[in-house]
Structure 1
Amino acid sequence: MKAHAVAEVTDADFEEEVLAERGRPVLVKFTADWCGPCRQLAPVLSALAAEEASRLKVVQIDVDRNPATLVRYGVLSTPTLLVFRDGEPVQQMVGARAKRRLLQELEGVLAATAGASG
């Protein structure tokens, strides 16, 4: 049942797992083990990954173990959520939030995905 778990990506596979994805956006959570708000956001993202799997890929990257990606995208705090479409960052959100708010913030990206696939 791990199909909907939030996958862990690294500096080494970020390009393959995130930037090379076509057809659906990728939500990347920049996280750290010591980050309380990151832990609060974890079940929200797991639910989102399960419910929106056809329209959104959800992954996370540990900022302490993957500094190159952190620096590349100018991430200054955790949790930071970056949404990529066809290899380009298109939306950024900083801090934990409830699922409803997150879905509202992602509405434009998800609507564009639904329109593109139809």
Structure 2
Amino acid sequence: MSAARDVTDATFASEVLESETPVIVDFWAEWCGPCRQVGPILDKIAEENEGKVNVVKVNVDDNPATAAKYGITSIPMMMAFKDGEIVAKSLGAKPKPALEADFAAVLGG
């Protein structure tokens, strides 16, 4: 069971851009091996930072409009949003300490 909620083209604005809590968005796809590697790491970050940051997932195959809007050409791509603006990005599967460093702007590290 993933700690990250699924977000769609229809719900992206309300769940991410209008969120009062910073949000880390995981752009992923079922067929992407590195995406499956990074998923549990993001779940752990979500659990450890509950109430401080939300973690959501956008399946790029099912939600092409959002993927296109943010220029997602490689996955896994993670972006942190705060007040509707991108404040950090991370491309590729990385160990937890590297992801935490990439997202220090929203994790308070």
> Displacement of 1:98 after TM fit?
0.7
Q: Is 1:99 matched with 2:96?
A: yes
Return the index of the structure with the highest Cα Rg.
1
> Displacement of 1:91 after TM fit?
1.2
Identity of aligned residues (%): 44
Aligned partner of 2:39 in structure 1 is 42
Q: Secondary structure at the match of 2:75?
A: coil
The one of 53, 56, 60 equivalent to 2:57 is 60
Q: How does 1:1-118 map to 2 (within 5 A)?
A: 5-22=3-20, 24-111=21-108
**8 Å Cα contact 2:89-2:102 kept in structure 1:** no
> Displacement of 1:76 after TM fit?
0.8
Q: Distance in 1 between matches of 2:11 and 2:102?
A: 27
Aligned partner of 1:115 in structure 2 is none
Letter of the structure 1 residue corresponding to residue 4 of structure 2: V
- Larger helix share, 1 or 2: 1
Structure 1: give runs of 5+ residues left out of the alignment.
113-118
Q: Secondary structure at the match of 1:12?
A: coil
Instruction: State the number of aligned residues.
Output: 109
- Please give the TM-score of this superposition, normalised by the length of structure 1: 0.87
Render the CA deviation track for 1:75-111: whole Å, top value 9, x for unaligned. Answer: 1111000110011111111101111111122223322
Deviating above 2 A after TM superposition, structure 1's stretches of 4 or more consecutive aligned residues are 108-112
Q: CA RMSD in A?
A: 1.5
Letter of the structure 2 residue corresponding to residue 89 of structure 1: I
- Please give the TM-score of this superposition, normalised by the length of structure 2: 0.93
